[in-house]
Each structure stands twice: as C-alpha cells, then as structure tokens.
Structure 1
Amino acid sequence: MTDPVPRLPPLLEAVLSVGTDLGLRATLQRIVDGAAELTGARYAALGTAAPGQDGLAEIRTAEPARSARRTTAGRAEAGQPGVGQADLGQASVGRSHDFVGVPIRVQDEVFGTLHLADKAGGPFTDEDEQLLHLLAAQAGIAIGNARLYETARQRERWIEGAAAVTTALLTGEAAADALMTVAERARILADASAGVILQPTPEGGMEIVTASTHEDPGDIVGTTIEPGSPVLDQLLGGEPVFIDDSATDPRMTTRVRHRFGPSMMLPLQAAGRLIGTLALPRRRGDPPYSPVERLLATQFASQAALALVLADAQHSRERLAVFEDRDRIARDLHDLVVQRLFATGMMLESTQRRTPAEDVHDTLGKAVDELQSTIQEVRTAIFALQQPPAEAPTTFRGKVLRETAGAAAVLGFQPSTRFTGAVDNRITEPAAGHLLAALRRALAAASRRAGVSRIEVVVDVTATLPDGRSGVRLTVRDDGAAEDPDGRGRRGTTETWQSPL
C-alpha cells in the first residue's frame, strides 16, 4: 500500500474545509467536493441512508466538463468499466477499477455513503480508499455538529414563531384572524404548501375553516372530512397523524388530497378542549417531515392551542368589562337623568295649569314636549347600551338603532330616535321589514339633501290608521333644503309610513 503521507496536506485541507460551515447542506457539499479533489475523481455523490430525514436525498458534484464526459464515453465504447453520474446513487460500498464507495457514520448511525467514480489518470488505489476513510471519519463529526446546529436553529425558529403567535393572539384579534395567524405562521415554519385549520362539524366530521396557501385558498376552505373517514377518529380523539403521501394514503378522503404529499395533522388541544386540527401538507415530491420537525410542530400546535384558549378568555373578560361599564352608565342615566327630567316636566305641567297667560302657556307646553322627547332619547340610549356590541340586533328597536347609527357615519351626526309604545312586543315581522326598508330609503334621501343638520325618527305603535285599525307609524323629519311643488324653496322634509299591526 502506498504511504499516504505525501498527500497529507491535501487531506488536511479537505478536513479543515469540511468543518468550516455549520449548515448541513453546505457541509455535505464540501465533503463531496473535497473527496473529488482529493482523489481526482470526475464524479462524486453522497447518498443518505434515510432520504428526506434531513430534508436531503443526495448531494453531487457539479456537472463534469465536456472532455470528462467524452473520456467516460470512450471508455464505455472500448469495453472498459466505468460508472456514470446517474449510477452513483445505486453504487455500493467498496472499490473496483473505476469506482470507490465508503460509508459515513454519525456516532453509531450510518448517515450515508460517499461514492466516487471515473478517476482521472487511472484506477482508484488503496491509498485513495484509505484517504476517503479518514475524510469520512472527520465528515461524520462535521455532519453531527451540523445536525445539532440545524436542530438548534429549527427549534429557535419554532419557539420564536410560537411566541409571535401568542403575542398576536393576545393583542385582541378576532377569532377568524387568530386561526389564520396560527395557520400562516405554521405553514412558513414547516416550509409547507398550505397551513390549514379544521374544526369539528355538528354532523361529526371536520371542516376546513381557515387556510393559508401560496395561491388562493378559496377552493380549499369548506372541504369536509365526512364521518366514517379512517383518519377522523384519530383527529377527533386529539391524536397527531403523520402521512407520507396524502394523494395515495387510503386514510385521506378529501377532494383536495391529490394536490399534496407529506403531511402532518396536529391537534389544537388545551385544558381538555379540542379546538380543532392544524394540518401542514407539503407538495407532492417534497421530502417527508423529519422526526425533529414532527416534534417541533407538535409542540407549536400545543402552544398555539393554549394561546387561542387564553385569547378567547381574554376577549370574554373584555366583553364582560364593556357590559359592566355599559350597565353602570345605563343605571346612572336611568336613576339620575331620567328621574330629574321627569320631575322637571311635572313641575312645568303644574305651572302650566296655574298660568293663565296664553304666551306663557304655549312656551311651557313646548318645554314639556322637549323634556318628553329628551326622556325618550335617553331611554333609547339606555337600551342601546344594554345590547351586545358585536352581535346583530334581533329586536325591531335594535334594528332601527343600527340603521340610524349606520346613517350617522355618512351624515356626520347621530339622528334623533324616539319610540312610543311597546315597540318590540307589538310590531310583527312583515311590518318590521316594510318599515325598515322605508327607514333606509328616508335616511339615504336625507343624506343627499343640502343643509341637513338634524334628523328625527319617530316610531309610534299607538297610532290609529285611517280605517280605524291599530297600527304603527314611522315618521322621519329633517331640516334640509327642499322644494314645494310650486317651485318655492322651503326648509324641512317629513315622510310618514303606516302599517297595520
């Protein structure tokens, strides 16, 4: 055997080069390039024992020069043995005339095999094989360090992602936005094709309610896993599911499964409560998830579920605080303002009865009417404070207030609203729909008139219709500019609608 000492400097250079980069892919590339340079091989490749475990299948040297390809082809035509670049992945450990392969071990695990072929200037020698074994030993240490570094970096990214999700959820996002935050962040961290949130349906299945993808996710949202699906029992039971190929796995039954390859389906579960499932499918042909990625994604899902529960509890506390504050304001308005206004009105009515002067009598009458209108508006405000702020109103009174509040954004001021009688108890559904449509038209027309600074809306369920029946009357008055039929200008418009109860 030839003494390898004369080739020690190139070996040391190759060994030092292998350990100069902490990235796994860069380290493997340096191993392959260093082995090719050390032995003079035109082709070199490193095939991993578990393709996809580290997100890698095979590392090769760059495409050889045209002259090298001609040399290999010439050898094949002359009947001499030769291994092309496409054959390296299937080559085994050992040495032949034109090929050598040495295993690379990381601790007690065979990481892969370093293959070299088509040495320039002659066949591979025992010296070449010995040098490659020395390089492979150093490469195993470098790969182990690179793996630890990659794992630490991955863990750091997932921890930062979980912290970012928690911060975002606890800043008061709506429920739908919170789920999208979880799905999008998980998709980026896992390098997945999509981030999907599924939630249980009343029928016993699971439905995709949120999806984050590179393209439009509209055709994914709404996809349902029907009851009876093999994977459903695991998901509803809060168990993680790992799939190598969504398109061919018999457990997958959704209509979009053919788009995806490797996938993780992780429970969003906290304090015994199953919020849903986080699915992270990759494209077909992408490497499967490694054990480290599965562990980190599972931990992320647990933390995200806890953050969702905490965010929901925080939102509930905030809503409760709003309701308590509104209830306090409503009590203050009722107990102080309304009672004082009512007492003042009674004093004015008493004074009106004792005062014979006509002008004073009219003035007091107007003052009493204004106080009664004020009392009605305060009571309306009290009612509005008692309604949930984020829910659509279900009563007629609430719907009228919602229409006037919407008009206030356009008008720049809040229309005055007054109700007379038991509005919510007496108005039927057909009459309510007719009156609300009329109210919308009247408010829209008032917003288009010039000079409108005040609008008064009155709903009276004590009205009597022209035919003598009991009914409801809606009156909308404004002080904007209008025209009489004779073309003369005037101020103010009054529109009235009536409907039987």
Structure 2
Amino acid sequence: MAAEPDSAEPDSTGSVAAREPLLLEAVLSVGTDLELRTTLQHLVDAAARLTDARYGALGVIDPDRTGGPRLTELFTTGMDADTRAAIGQLPCGDAGLLGVLLRDPRPLRIDDLATDPRSCGIPAGHPPMHSFIGVPVLVRDEVFGDLYLTEKRRGPFTPEDERLVRILAAQAGIAIGNALLFEAARQRERWIEGAAAVTTALLSGTVDDDPLMVVAEQARRLAHASAGVILQPTEEGGMEIVTASTHEDPAALIGTTIAPGSPVLEQLLGGEPVFVDDSATDPRMTTPVRAAFGPSLLLPLQSGGRLIGTLALPRTRGARGYTQEERQLAGQFASQAALALVLADTRQRRERLAVFEDRDRIARDLHDLVVQRLFATGMMLESTRRRARAAEVGSAIGLAVDELESTVQEVRTAIFALQQPPADAPTSLRGRVLKEAAGAAAVLGVTPSTQFIGAVEHRVPEPVAEQLLTTLRRALAATSRRPHVAHIRVTVDADTALPDGRDAVRLTVHDDGDEDGGVGGDEGGGESGGADGTTVTSQWPL
C-alpha cells in the first residue's frame, strides 16, 4: 500500500489547482439528484472522470447482515452490457481486495493488482486491471460503501488522485445522506399509503377479493418481493400457505406446509417476526419451495392477542436483502393489516347477523300471518264442502282446499329457505333440493314449486339423499329440453312405502311441457307423459 503524502504533488494530469474545476464539477454532479440510485451512479461516473480511470465501481454494504458486512449492490462505469454478462455474478466482497476494504475501511492504493498478494478471485471474462484505488464512503460517520477505481489511462494512480477521490467521497457522503433521507421518507410514505389502502378496501367492503389476498398483494408490491404469501396454523400444529400473490403460478405455493417441529415454527406460532438472509440455505427453512427464494421476511398478522397468521415476503435468490428500515415498515404494515382483517371480519359478521334477523322477521311474519290465515280459510272451505249438497260444489271446494294446502306447503318451504345462512352452502336435504330448484330456474326460465312431505331431514340417510339429488338434476335437465314448460312441481315424500312394505322416500318431478324421452328411476319408478305434461318418479328404500 502506498504511503499517504502530507501534501498534494503534481503529476502527469496536472496540479491540484488545475484539477479543482474537475473536482468542483464532480461534486456538483453528485449532488444534483435526490434519487438514491441516480446519486450513486453519478458518484462512480464523476470519480472515474476525475482520475482518468477506465473502470469504476461503488459497492453498497449491508451492515445488518448476520456474519459481517458484505456487498449487496455494485454500481459500475466503463463496462458495457456484454462485459458485465461475461463476468457473470458480481462479487459479494468476501474475498480479495474488496474483502480487505470491508474489514478495514481505509483508503487503499495499489500500483499493480497482479503483484499484490491480497488480490484474488478475479472471475473469467473480467477485463485486465492493474492500478487500483479504493476509498470508503462514509455517511453520518458510518461506512455506506466502498468506491473502487482501476486502470488509470496514463500510468499508476498518484497520491493526488487518492486525495481528490477522498475529497469527492467525503462530499458524496453528504449527498448520499440527503438521498437516503429522501428515499426513507418516500418509502415510509409509500408503506403508509399502502396500509391505508388495505384498511379502506377491507372496511369499506368495496372489494370482491379474499381479504387475505388483498393484504398479500399489497405487501408484495410495497416490499418489491417476488411473492406475498399468508400462512395460517393447521390442526396438526404446523402452518400452511393459504393465500399467495406472485408473478408466477400461485398454485405452486398454496398448500405448502411447515411441518410441526420446524425450527422456525415456534417463532411464527408465537407471533414473532423472522428475518432470513437466504431462504435456500437457511437451515431454519424446511419447505420445499424455499430453494426459489433468497432474502425473506416472515411477519406475524396479530391483533389484540389473536394470531391470524403469518405474512411472508420472499425475494428471489441473489436479490438485495431487506434493510432495517424495510423490516420496520413491513412489520408496521403487518400490524395494521391484521387489525383491518379483524375489523373487516367483525363488520361482515354484523352484516350477516342483520341479514339473519331480517330473514327471521320475514319468516315469522309469513308463519304468523300468511300460513295461519290460509290454514283458517282451508278449514272454512272444508267445513263448507261437508255441508254442500251439490256434488259439483263439493268437488270445486275440494280442489280449492287442495290448492290451499299446496300453497301452505310452499310458504313453509319459503320460510325454511329464509332460515338458511345466505352465504353458506346448504347442508340439509331440504336446503340442497331448494338450491337445485333455484339453480334450474335460471336455465328453465320457470321457478319450480317445491313440496316436502314427512320428516325428510331425519328419515333420509346421506347416501339416499345423494341419489335423490342426482335424479333430481337429471329430471330438471330433461325438463329443460321439453318445449312449452310453464309449471314445474317437485315433491319429496318421506312418508311413502315400497310395494314390499319397506319405508321409502319418493321424488316426483312434474311439468306441463310436451312429452320428450324418458328418465328412469330407482327401486321402481319411471316417467309418464300425456296431455297434462310429464311426471318423473323415483323412490328409494329407507
């Protein structure tokens, strides 16, 4: 290492005074932009012009990395795209002269790299380099990175070159500090806006997406991650990816499980954040998809002591690691998102409760007012029919009584449908039959009337219910192919019996369309057609 002179000496490029305009121009060019990456590139370009160096580079250090600092980014000048592609992966700074500067951040000037024993690890395809200057760049008395200059065009680097580069690096440290403050403010603003957008979307109820997907998608964009995934605890004691937002196929991630006993699982279930430098090599990571990712954040989605899950934000292998600022901002986002998820879930529950209460009221009104009045009217007509002397009058009244009974049954079916959860798939046989009928209405253009006789819920076992629903779908599909259908009636009778005396359930589907083909039944039954329409009957033993 060349000794540092007490004062500047002239060299082949001119005196210090002659190069002061170049230095001033370099300092001004570095401080012209508040965008961090642009500022760093200006610094490399200005240092190369100032010293007449063919190549220049600025390595940014990650001071938070476990195991010591290393280079996370390298800004270069003098190399075209083909040269950089021939070199391949940029150095991390663990070995060679780059490693020396990382471990001992003091200016370093070498006349010939080829003869220095500390120089090693030059990759194939790297252009030949001999003269070298390395100077640390300090920001607020902390090493931000190292500035490297090589291959001076006219002879080796001089003490004056080193002095000028040190002055430029000192002035650049101020510009970089300002750019860092601006970047931190802009980054914080972006995360705050993202968290506010998630909260607004979840609480306003204006999005149709899964709330977890809204959180994962927004977090992935804010963190510049390759994926945003949410894991939730499993019954077996592990954690499973239930939501994934990624540029690739999310199906490759959804369903991935962290098995019980994983070193990282105890922290995740305990609501602790986990920071990973490289998912592919970290022994704590055990999932099969870890090989595709590098730096990762695993953040608890926790509010009021309730653990909703874990938000994971992995970046691709070789990508820049997360800074301390990014970790803090992502953690704050996760906390606010968890609170929004809890509040959104509470809002949805209240809305559903309001729907239940309203439907309950309607069902009560139907039962208390409509059904009772219809029943009373039917009783009056039945009494009148018994007193009527003319057979025609009695027959007409009998038909009216039958229609009233059918209407009462349909109103009761409507009451039952109102009592079902509006957003849940029905689990009872009644509910499933009503769902099939409602679904067929969209195709048929006619809403089938539905009647249940007997204790359908308690008497019909699940295997028989599945057969009944399959036959119902086939019968409704056949009805859709018949012309001139204006009325459809579906009857499920659990109070019938087979010819051999066994208890049975019978399905009858009748429509008033023209006859067209046949749909067979089970355990006796079939289809009949005529002037009054088509009737399909099927029955099964109980």
The aligned residue for residue 94 of structure 1 is 108
Residue 484 and residue 262 in structure 1: after superposition, are their counterparts in 2 closer, same or farther (change >3 A)? Answer: closer
The reply on whether 1:211 has 2:244 as its aligned counterpart is: yes
**Among 491, 504, 522, the residue aligned to 1:458:** 491
Alignment partner, residue 318 of structure 1: 351
AA in 1 matched with 2:45: D
Q: Is the 8 A contact 1:247 1:258 kept in 2?
A: yes
One-letter code aligned to 2:79? E
RMSD (Å), alpha carbons = 2.6
**Deviation for aligned residue 1:51:** 7.3
Q: How does 1:218-257 map to 2 (within 5 A)?
A: 218-257=251-290
**1:227-306 superposed matches below 5 A:** 227-306=260-339
Output the CA distance in 2 between the equivalents of 1:18 and 1:116: 16
Aligned amino acid, residue 46 of structure 1: L
- SS at the partner of 2:250? coil
Q: Structure 2 vs 1, CA of residues 55 and 162 (structure 1 numbering), >3 Å: closer, same or farther?
A: farther
Q: Tell which deviates more after alignment, 445-454 or 156-165.
A: 156-165
Q: Does 1:50 align with 2:62?
A: yes
Correspondence for 1:442 among 468, 475, 478? 475
Instruction: Report the Cα offset of residue 363 of structure 1.
Output: 1.7
Amino acid at match of 1:446: T
Is the alpha carbon distance of 1:174 and 1:316 closer, same or farther for their aligned partners in structure 2, counting shifts above 3 Å? farther
Q: Distance in 1 between matches of 2:230 and 2:339?
A: 15
CA contact (8 A) 1:458 1:475 kept: yes
Residue 63 of structure 1 and its aligned partner are, at CA, apart by 1.9
Instruction: Report if the CA contact (8 A) 1:46-1:112 is conserved.
Output: yes
Q: Which residue does 1:59 correspond to in 2?
A: 75
Specify every segment of 5 or more residues in structure 2 that has no aligned partner in the other structure, as ranges: 1-7, 83-94, 102-106, 112-130, 519-528
TM-aligned CA deviation for residue 427 of structure 1: 2.4
Q: In structure 2, how many angstroms separate the alpha carbons of the residues matched to 1:496 and 1:47?
A: 81
Give the counterpart letter for 2:424 in structure 1: E
- Seen in structure 2, the aligned counterparts of structure 1 residues 136 and 465 have a Cα distance that, compared at 3 Å, is same
Return the letter of the residue paired with 1:22: L
**Cα drift, residue 48 of structure 1:** 2.8
Contact 2:201 2:207 in 1 (8 A): no
1:472 offset after TM fit, Å? Answer: 2.5
* Alpha-carbon distance change, 8 to 484 in structure 1, aligned in 2, over 3 angstroms: closer
Q: Does residue 498 in structure 1 map to residue 531 in structure 2?
A: no
Query: Which deviates further from its counterpart, 48-57 or 469-478?
Result: 48-57
CA distance in 1, matches of 2:304, 2:204: 21
Pick closer, same or farther for the CA change 1:225–1:469 going to 2, 3 Å. closer
Instruction: Report what 2:220 is aligned to.
Output: 187
- Equivalent position of 1:349 in the other structure: 382
| Deviations 1:446-472 (CA, angstroms, capped at 9, x unpaired) | 111111111001122232433344432
Shift of 1:180: 1.7
TM-score by length of 2: 0.83
* CA distance in 2 between partners of 1:91 and 1:429 (Å): 75
The offset of 1:153, in angstroms, is 1.7
CA contact (8 A) 1:52 1:289 kept: no
**How far, CA to CA, are the matches of 1:16 and 1:117 in structure 2?**
23
Change (3 A) 1:64 1:212: closer
Alignment of 1:70-219 (within 5 A): 89=98, 92=101, 93-97=107-111, 98-172=131-205, 177-219=210-252
State the identity %. 68
TM-score, normalised via structure 1 length: 0.89
Q: Does the alignment pair 1:25 with 2:58?
A: no
Post-superposition Cα deviations, 1:125-165, rounded to whole Å, max 9, x if no partner, equal: 34333332322222011000111111112112212221222
Q: How does 1:332-371 map to 2 (within 5 A)?
A: 332-371=365-404
Matched residues in 1 for 2:203 and 2:227: separation?
24
CA distance in 2, matches of 1:64, 1:419: 80
Cα distance between partner residues in 1 of 2:199 and 2:390: 73
CA distance in 1, matches of 2:279, 2:184: 26
- Residue 82 of structure 1 aligns with which residue? none
